[in-house]
Amino acid sequence: MAEPNLQEVHDFLVGLAQQAATMIISANPSTVDTKKNSSDLVTETDKAVEDLISKSLKSAYPDYSFLGEETAKSGRLTDSPTFVVDPIDGTTNFVHAYPYISISLAFAHKQKPLVGVVYNPFTQNLYTAIKGQGAFITAPKIPDSFPREREQVESSYEKRKLPLRSPPPALPDLSHAIVAVEYGNERAGNNWDCKINTFSALGRDKSMGGAMVQSIRSLGSAALNMCSVAKGDIDVYWEGGCWAWDVAAGWVIVEEAGGMVVGGNQGEWTPKVDGRRYLVLRAGAGREIVEEFWSKIN
């Protein structure tokens, strides 16, 4: 098998994301089913978008593997060249018409993400990265002034390198940070207790042993959370319980923006993409932030 042409793969995934976006913005999620419980939703649009993407990829790249959220029998990656796909990351947001969702498309080889494409069809923010070539956001350009009456407004887009602030400011400690977390769909047991205890430790006053972070965000899309870290809007993102298709695209975008992905549990400096627990830090946040965060996990 020939070595993958990463630029070609990137361009193909961008085109696919734009096709999928057309389906999503025109959809009305009238059929909503649950998978594990009432917080774990799937719609007919999730399935239709994954079907579109999988058929297109298998036609263009018949020798490559496919790992998609709605059809995967296992969440595990292999060493084979693999497309890793979440057709709608943020399905609960989609059902509630909250526009923080994304199409997350990645290409991995030997279990390493090499290409990432994350697209929010409602904001039209497109995040992309190729290993070794940097990370970028392409977004609608904000006009310098409002258009005059009856003046035609033409959409224009601007591509910018990530992170948006260069050089990125240092992060002294967690008390200067905005941290993203997610509740997930496992609402009982040790994992749930660990999350709630850790959320409390992050917010608690330092005099009581907490980190006293500036604020916590829970926005409902792992891929977009990672892109916000890459961009620099969010300083740290802690995740326990999601899957390779949630993080693979964002992973390469974060790393190409100068950030890092380590494990969600103490001592996990080299996590696997399918390891399910992650700590993601923006450029400018060093290993001491990792150690501080790990110390707050209960």
**C-alpha to C-alpha distances, 286 to 48, 115, 200, nearest whole angstrom:** 41, 24, 23
The catalytic residue among 70, 86, 182, 274 is 86
CB 171 within 8 A of CB 282: yes
Q: Which two tokens stand for residue 63?
A: 């020798």
The catalytic residue among 235, 246, 255, 256 is 246
Under 8 Å CB-to-CB from 35, ≥6 apart: which residues?
Answer: 41, 42, 185
Dmax (CA) of the chain: 60
Q: How far apart are the first and last CA of the chain?
A: 46
Does the active-site annotation cover 46?
Answer: no
Does the active-site annotation cover 89?
Answer: yes
The catalytic residue among 45, 46, 70, 88 is 88
Residue type, 187: R
Q: Are strands 178-180 and 236-240 parallel, antiparallel or unpaired?
A: parallel
Closest by alpha carbon to 286, among 127, 177, 202, 162? 177
Does the active-site annotation cover 86?
Answer: yes
What is the length of the chain?
A: 298
| Cis preceding-peptide flag for 167 (omega within 30 of 0) | yes
Edge to edge, the sheet with strand 215-217 lists 215-217, 178-180, 236-240, 277-281, 260-263
Calculated CA dihedral for residues 174, 224, 156, 46, nearest 10 degrees: -170
Other CB atoms within 10 Å distance of the CB of residue 22: 11
Please state the separation of Cα 143 from the chain's center in Å: 28
Alpha-carbon distance 291 to 237, whole Å?
A: 14
Catalytic positions, please?
A: 69, 86, 88-89, 91, 246
